[in-house]
């Protein structure tokens, strides 16, 4: 198995890095929804997924009906599956489980000073 931690090693520098939470808040396997402030009124819905040593961040919105993935999502292998109509999206790429061209945006993550950071735009 490759080292999944390598994907979020390093320092958050440049771009629009946002502090998500203390790393200990996402220490157990599971799905963690967040609303990261983008300004006075806007928030970015972010779904962090912990699976073993790996952390992933996806936009917390199902492209089918624009509902929050986190409302009913569950993990199935390498997929996060929307619980409404069971569309699955690859954790790493956000691509739909079928070759539809549909995908959920994903975001790079970094750990710094005991906190998890997400790069929302570059
Ligand atoms: S709303 Fe997500 S699969 Fe239909």
C-alpha–C-alpha distance, residues 98 and 91, integer Å: 14
Q: Measured from the CB, is residue 19 less than 6 Å from ligand 1?
A: no
User: Which residue has its alpha carbon closest to ligand 1 atom 3?
Assistant: 85
**Closest atom, ligand 1, to C-alpha of 86:** 3
pLDDT in tens, 2-61: 334 445 555 566 678 899 999 999 999 999 999 988 877 788 999 999 999 999 999 999
Q: In 3-state terms, what secondary structure has residue 117?
A: strand
Q: For the chain, what percent of residues have pLDDT higher than 90?
A: 73
Report the pLDDT value the prediction gives residue 13, as an integer from 0 to 100: 66
Q: Where are the domains of the chain?
A: 14-119
Report the pLDDT value the prediction gives residue 5, as an integer from 0 to 100: 43
Q: Measured from the CB, is residue 87 less than 6 Å from ligand 1?
A: yes
Q: Which CATH number fits domain 14-119: 2.70.210.12, 3.40.50.1820, 3.40.50.150, 2.102.10.10?
A: 2.102.10.10
Q: What is the DSSP track for 39-102?
A: SSS-EEEEEEEEETTEEEEEES--TTT---GGGT-EEETTEEE-TTT--EEETTT-BBSSSSS-
Pocket test for ligand 1, best of 45, 63, 64 (most atoms within 8 A of CB): 64
pLDDT in tens, 56-102: 999 999 999 999 999 999 999 999 999 999 999 999 999 999 999 99
* Predicted TM-score of the model (pTM): 0.88
Q: Measured from the CB, is residue 65 less than 6 Å from ligand 1?
A: yes
Q: Which two tokens stand for residue 82?
A: 């929307």
Report the pLDDT value the prediction gives residue 84, as an integer from 0 to 100: 97
**Closest atom, ligand 1, to C-alpha of 85:** 3
């Amino acid at each position: 198995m490759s080292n999944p931690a390598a994907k979020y090693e390093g320092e958050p520098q440049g771009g629009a890095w946002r502090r998500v939470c203390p790393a200990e808040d996402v220490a157990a396997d599971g799905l963690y929804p967040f609303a990261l402030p983008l300004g006075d009124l806007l928030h970015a819905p972010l779904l962090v997924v912990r699976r073993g040593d790996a952390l992933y961040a996806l936009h917390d919105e199902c492209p089918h009906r624009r509902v929050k993935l986190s409302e009913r999502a569950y993990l199935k292998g390498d997929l996060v599956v929307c619980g409404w109509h069971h569309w699955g999206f690859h954790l790493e790429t956000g691509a739909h489980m079928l070759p539809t061209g549909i995908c959920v945006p994903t975001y790079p993550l970094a750990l710094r000073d005991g906190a998890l950071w997400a790069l929302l735009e570059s």
